[in-house]
Amino acid sequence: MPAHRHGNSVIRQPLWSRCSLMGFDLNRHWQEPSPWVHPTLHAVKQLIVQLSQDPKMGLEFYIDVHAHSTMMNGFMYGNVFEEEERVQRQAVFPRLLCQNAPDFSFSNTSFNHDVVKAGTGRRFLGGLLDDMSYCYTLEVSFYSYMAAGSTAPVPYTEDTYMKLGRNVARTFLDYYRHNNFIDDNKPQIPNHINTTEVLSQGRLGNGTGNKKTSGCERGAERKNLGLKD
């Protein structure tokens, strides 16, 4: 890996690529993937379309996972919709994740419809699937995260990456109200996910409730440089 000297420190920058062996950025070709040039995308897209059209199966969540090279913490990208109610529903999952994961930043989570992102899985499937499906990109820093109340970044390790994965799974338990599978005395979300009520609850981080919400506006409040999903 290449090394760069900064003052008396040497910063080692990992060298790897998101491109396929043929040189294509696979997260820019979801609209019309080629079975020959983009065989993995083509196969996954066919499977997702098949699941979405099966009334017995359906597809509620699509989350692709990326490493981010310039920002700290974990955060999400979501889509923009005209229906306000759908916009609010889409914000529920990342807000719940923010309550479960000390390294996840809701303040760095953004919902956009940039033209340059039209070929990403999150953007394309957000327009393809029905309005009860949720499509996100989960970005996680290559390097470190800033926990609530901390002034020093904490380097990511294999264990902390795994812990974030477990907290994503925990958030699904919260979302589907299966908290009884874990015993940590966590409060459950309402019996019926009324998005207006959920988003207005202090514990979901709108700043109007108890101080437990402060963690959702944690760390990495930096200018978003080179955002890429």
**Is the domain of 85 the same as that of 196?**
yes
**Is the domain of 174 the same as that of 71?**
yes
**Is the domain of 81 the same as that of 101?**
yes
* Residue 220 CB coordination number (10 Å): 20
**Is the domain of 130 the same as that of 48?**
no
pLDDT the model gives residue 184: 54
pLDDT the model gives residue 114: 80
Distance in angstroms (rounded) separating the CA atoms of residues 199 and 189: 11
Total structural domains within the chain: 2
**Is the domain of 52 the same as that of 64?**
no
42 occurs within a structural domain: yes
**Is the domain of 105 the same as that of 45?**
no
Active-site residue, from 60, 82, 84, 139: 139
Q: Examine the residue annotation and report whether 158 is marked as an active-site residue of this protein.
A: no
**Is the domain of 102 the same as that of 188?**
yes
**Is the domain of 74 the same as that of 41?**
no
Mean pLDDT of the chain: 78
79 occurs within a structural domain: yes
222 occurs within a structural domain: no
207: left (phi over 0), alpha (psi -120 to 50) or beta: left
Among residues 79, 83, 80, 127, the alpha carbon closest in space to that of 229 is found at 79
**Is the domain of 113 the same as that of 36?**
no
Q: Which residues constitute the domain of residue 106?
A: 60-217
**Is the domain of 36 the same as that of 71?**
no
> What pTM value is reported for the model?
0.74
**Is the domain of 47 the same as that of 148?**
no
Q: What angle do CA 194, 198, 204 make, to 5 degrees?
A: 165
2 occurs within a structural domain: no
Convert the pLDDT of each residue in 102-149 to its tens digit: 999 999 999 988 888 889 999 999 999 999 999 999 999 999 999 888
Beta-carbon-side half-sphere exposure of residue 8 (alpha carbons within 13 Å): 0
**Is the domain of 130 the same as that of 207?**
yes
Distance in angstroms (rounded) separating the CA atoms of residues 61 and 83: 19
162 occurs within a structural domain: yes
85 and 195 in contact (C-beta within 8 Å)?
A: yes
Name the amino acid, one letter, at 187: P
* Distance spanning both ends of the chain, measured CA to CA: 23
Distance in angstroms (rounded) separating the CA atoms of residues 175 and 155: 29
Is pLDDT of 170 > 90? yes
